[in-house]
Amino acid sequence: MDALVLSARRKGSPVVVGLDPDPRHLPPEMHGLPEAEAAREFCLGVLEATAPEAAAVKLQSAYFERLGAPGAVLYAELLRAAADLDLPTIADVKRGDIGPVAAAYAEAHLSVYGATSVTVNPYMGADAVVPFLDEARRVGAGGGAFVLVATSNPSAAELQNSSEPPLYEAAARLVAGLGRPGETGYPDAGAVVGATRPEVGWGVRELLPDALFLAPGYGAQRGDAANVRALLDARGAGVLVNSSRGILRAFEGTETGYKDAARAATRRMRADLEAAGVRA
Amino acid sequence: MDALVLSARRKGSPVVVGLDPDPRHLPPEMHGLPEAEAAREFCLGVLEATAPEAAAVKLQSAYFERLGAPGAVLYAELLRAAADLDLPTIADVKRGDIGPVAAAYAEAHLSVYGATSVTVNPYMGADAVVPFLDEARRVGAGGGAFVLVATSNPSAAELQNSSEPPLYEAAARLVAGLGRPGETGYPDAGAVVGATRPEVGWGVRELLPDALFLAPGYGAQRGDAANVRALLDARGAGVLVNSSRGILRAFEGTETGYKDAARAATRRMRADLEAAGVRA
C-alpha cells in the first residue's frame, strides 16, 4: 500500500474521494446529456477539483457497470485521469471468487484497467484474496488489496457479528496472515473497516495493529472523525477515510457549482479529520 | 427462479453450462485471433453446441472484465444469444455491497445486460441481497439471486466453518428469510452450495428445504453426481449443477473439435446425474 500511504503523507491528507456517479444526483447542467457523458463530465470535474486535497480516488465499479460498455470505457478513462493527476486509485469492486476467477479479476482491475489497489470480499477464504496480492506484487505499483472486514452498512452485523468468534475476527486474521510489508511498513493486505461501529473497529485494530485501513461511511453513512479515531494505529495514522456522497452531493441544496462544492467538502473533511488527530 | 426450473424440466436436464473463457484454454483454431474475438467465437460455439442439453448458461463475469470494454460488449452479446436459444442465464458476478450500490449492480446485470439471475455475496447481510431480489421482481423474467452459502473452493471452510454457529448457517438463514416463492414453488432467493462438501450441503438443505441450489464444483473441482445427491430436496430435485472447465476444456487432449467435445461432455454429465437420481 506504499503508493497510497506516500500520497497521503505528501498531500497531508487521509481523504479518499469516492466516485459513485449516481444518475439521480447529478448537477443541473448535466441533465439531458446521455448518461455516460453526464457521468464522465461530472467525475472528471470532481476529480480535478478535489485532487489537491485528496490522498487517493476510489471508483465504485457498480455505477460504471450499469452504464454498459460505455461505462467500461469511462472507468478506464477515469483511472488514467487520476494517474495523470498523480493520484493512486482504488477499484472498489469487492470481488470474491475461487482462485482462477480471482486471478482473472485481479488481472482485469490491476493490470488491464490499471487501478493501484482493489477491494476484495473474503467469504471464500484465502483463495479469493491471494491472487489480488500476487497481481499487485507482479505489477509493482505500490498497491494491494483492502479486504472487507467490518463494513459500515446497517445490516453489516447480520453475518459479521452472528457467531463466536465473530466473522470479522476470522477475516482480520486472514488479512494478518497474507500481507507483506512495503517500504512504509504497511502490509499490502489492508482492511475495509467502517467508521460507523467504533467498538468493532477497535477490536479489528487490535488484531491488525500494522495494517492500513480503508474506512467508508464518513459523512452520509453517519461515520464521523471521532469514530475514525478508534481505527488509528499506534502512530495515530494508518486509516484512509473515504467519502463519496458527502463530496459528490455537496452542491445539492446550495447555489455553489458542483466543483467548488466538492472541493470545499473535501477541505472541510480534511480539516475535521486533522482536528480530531487523524494523521495522514 | 421459475424461468430456470421450468427450463430444466422442459429440457429434462439440471445442467448449467459455465462460460469462463480462459485464454490459456482455447481451441487451436482460435490461436492468433485477438483475445476478445477468440473468446467470442469460442463462447458462441459452445453455447450453440450445448444448448439442447442444458437448463441454463452461467457467464463468469471475471473473464469478460479482463477483456476491458470489448469484454462488456461480448458479455451483452452472449446474454442475448442465450436468450435467442431460449436459455435462461445466470450472471455469475458474486457482487456484494451496501444497498444503493447493490441496486446499481442489480440494475446493471438484470436490466442493462439482461441476465435472468445473478449470484450474490452475503458478507454485508440483507442490505447486499435485497436490491437484487427487488430488481428481479421488477423485471419479472422469472429470475432471482443465488446467494453464496457454502462454496466449493479449497479455502471455503476458512471463514464459512470457523465459528459457532458456522457462517454458512447464518447465510442460509438469511436466504430463508428473503425469498418469495414463484409458480414452481421455488423462492426467488436461491443458494450457491458446492458439490464438494456433501456433509455441509446436507446441513444447508435442512435449513433451506424449499430453495433452488446452484451447485458449482462438478467435474474439475472434484464434485460428482453422488455428492450432488446430498443437496436434493424432498422431491429429488431442486439443484442446478454447473460445469465450466469440464465442458469448455473437453476438447483438450483429444482429436475431437471443441463443439462436439463440449456437447458430448454435457450429455455425459446429464446422463451421470440422471443415473444418480438427480431430477431436473
Pick the CATH number of A2-275 from 3.20.20.140, 3.40.50.300, 3.40.1180.10, 3.20.20.70: 3.20.20.70
pLDDT score of B197: 86
Interface test with B, best of A20, A58, A59, A65 (most B CBs within 10 A): A65
Q: How far is CA A275 from CA A55, A220, A231, B275, in A?
A: 17, 20, 16, 69
Q: What is the 3-state secondary structure (H, E, C) of A196-243?
A: CCHHHHHHHHHHCCCCCEEECCECCCCECHHHHHCCCCCCCCCEEEEE
- A174:B158 CB<8 A: yes
Strand runs labelled E in chain B: 15-19, 56-60, 89-95, 117-120, 145-150, 189-193, 213-215, 239-243
Percent of chain B with pLDDT strictly greater than 70:
99
Closest Cβ–Cβ partner in B63, B69, B153 for A98? B153
Is 70 exceeded by the pLDDT of residue A180? Answer: yes
Is 70 exceeded by the pLDDT of residue B222? Answer: no
**Region label for A259, one of left (φ > 0), alpha (ψ between -120 and 50) or beta (otherwise):** alpha
Q: What is the mean pLDDT of residues A244-252?
A: 97
Is 90 exceeded by the pLDDT of residue B251? Answer: yes
Which residue numbers of B are catalytic? 94
CB A5 within 8 A of CB A143: no
Q: Which residue has the cell 489537491?
A: A52
* pLDDT grade for B217, boundaries at 50, 70 and 90: confident
- Nearest-Cα distance to chain A for B192, in Å, is 12
Is 90 exceeded by the pLDDT of residue A149? Answer: yes
pLDDT score of A56: 98
* pLDDT grade for B161, boundaries at 50, 70 and 90: confident
Contacts of A125 in chain B (CB under 8 A): 153-160
Closest Cβ–Cβ partner in B68, B94, B105 for A96? B94
Q: How far is CA A54 from CA A31, A42, A151, A268, in A?
A: 27, 17, 22, 12
Q: What is the mean pLDDT of residues A24-39?
A: 96
Residue of chain B nearest A109, judged by CA positions: B66
Phi, psi of A19 (to 5 degrees): -100, 100
Percent of chain A with pLDDT strictly greater than 90:
89
Residues in chain B: 280
Residue A248 corresponds to which cell in the numbers above? 459528490
Segment (H or E) for A150:
strand A145-150
Contacts of A156 in chain B (CB under 8 A): 124-125, 127
Interface test with B, best of A153, A214, A242, A244 (most B CBs within 10 A): A153
- B155:A97 CB<8 A: no
Least confident of A69-83, A151-165, B226-240: A151-165
Q: How far apart are CA A120 and CA B95, in angstroms?
A: 10
Interface test with B, best of A158, A169, A192, A249 (most B CBs within 10 A): A158
Q: Which residue has the cell 485494530?
A: A205
Q: What is the mean pLDDT of residues A228-239?
A: 95
Residue of chain A nearest B69, judged by CA positions: A72
- A104:B128 CB<8 A: no
Closest Cβ–Cβ partner in B69, B108, B155 for A66? B108
B105-142 burial: b if 16+ Cβ within 10 Å, else e:
bbbbbbebbbbbbbbbbbbbbbbbbbbbbebbeebebb
In terms of pTM, does the model score above 0.90? yes
Interface test with A, best of B20, B22, B63, B65 (most A CBs within 10 A): B65
* pLDDT grade for A220, boundaries at 50, 70 and 90: low
Where is pLDDT greater, at A221 or B267? B267
**Alpha helices for A147-211 (secondary structure H):** 157-160, 167-178, 198-207
* pLDDT grade for A147, boundaries at 50, 70 and 90: very high
Is 90 exceeded by the pLDDT of residue B73? Answer: yes
For B203-212, what is each residue's pLDDT tens digit? Answer: 999 999 999 9
Q: What is the mean pLDDT of residues A67-84?
A: 98
pLDDT score of B218: 86
Contacts of B157 in chain A (CB under 8 A): 125
Q: Report the Cα–Cα distance between both ends of chain B, in Å, rounded.
A: 13
Q: What is the mean pLDDT of residues A25-35?
A: 95
Phi, psi of A87 (to 5 degrees): -105, 120
Q: How far apart are CA A172 and CA A205, in angstroms?
A: 9
Q: What is the mean pLDDT of residues B32-49?
A: 97
Q: What contacts B268, CB < 8 A, 6 or more positions away?
A: none
Fill in the DSSP letter of residue B253: T
Q: What is the mean pLDDT of residues A262-276?
A: 96
Supply angle C-alpha A11, A106, B152, rounded to 5: 135
- A159:B125 CB<8 A: yes
Neighbours of A229 (CB within 10 A): 18
ipTM above 0.85, yes or no: yes
- A72:B76 CB<8 A: no
Is 80 exceeded by the pLDDT of residue B157? Answer: yes
Pairing mode, if any, of strands B239-243 and B213-215? parallel
Q: What is the mean pLDDT of residues A216-225?
A: 77
CA gyration radius for chain A? 18
Q: How far apart are CA A196 and CA A168, in angstroms?
A: 14
Segment (H or E) for B205:
helix B198-207
CB B188 within 8 A of CB B137: yes
pLDDT score of A8: 98
HSE of B261, CA atoms in CB hemisphere, 13 A: 18
Q: Which amino acid is at B200?
A: V
Where is pLDDT greater, at A279 or B129? B129
Q: How far apart are CA B120 and CA A105, in angstroms?
A: 16
- Nearest-Cα distance to chain B for A116, in Å, is 16
Is 70 exceeded by the pLDDT of residue B223? Answer: no
* pLDDT grade for B220, boundaries at 50, 70 and 90: low
Residue of chain A nearest B153, judged by CA positions: A98
Per domain, the residue ranges of chain B are 2-275
- A127:B174 CB<8 A: no
For B99-125, what is each residue's pLDDT tens digit? Answer: 999 999 999 999 999 999 999 999 999
Closest Cβ–Cβ partner in A63, A65, A155 for B127? A155
Q: Which residue has the cell 490522498?
A: A55
Partners of residue A223 on adjacent β-strands: A218
Q: What is the mean pLDDT of residues A245-271?
A: 97
CB B141 within 8 A of CB B116: yes
- Nearest-Cα distance to chain B for A2, in Å, is 25
Q: Taking every pair of C-alpha atoms in chain B, what is the biggest distance, in angstroms? A: 52
DSSP, residue by residue, B66-134: TT-HHHHHHHHHHHHHHHHTT--EEEEEEE---HHHHHHHHIIIIIIS--SEEEE--TT-GGGTHHHHH
Q: How far apart are CA B202 and CA B230, in angstroms?
A: 5
Percent of chain A with pLDDT strictly greater than 70:
99
pLDDT score of B221: 62
Least confident of A53-62, A210-219, B61-70: A210-219
Cis geometry, peptide bond prior to residue B187 (ω within 30 degrees of 0): no
Contacts of A127 in chain B (CB under 8 A): 153-156
Q: What is the mean pLDDT of residues A67-92?
A: 98
Neighbours of B252 (CB within 10 A): 12
- B164:A162 CB<8 A: no
Q: Mean pLDDT for chain A?
A: 95
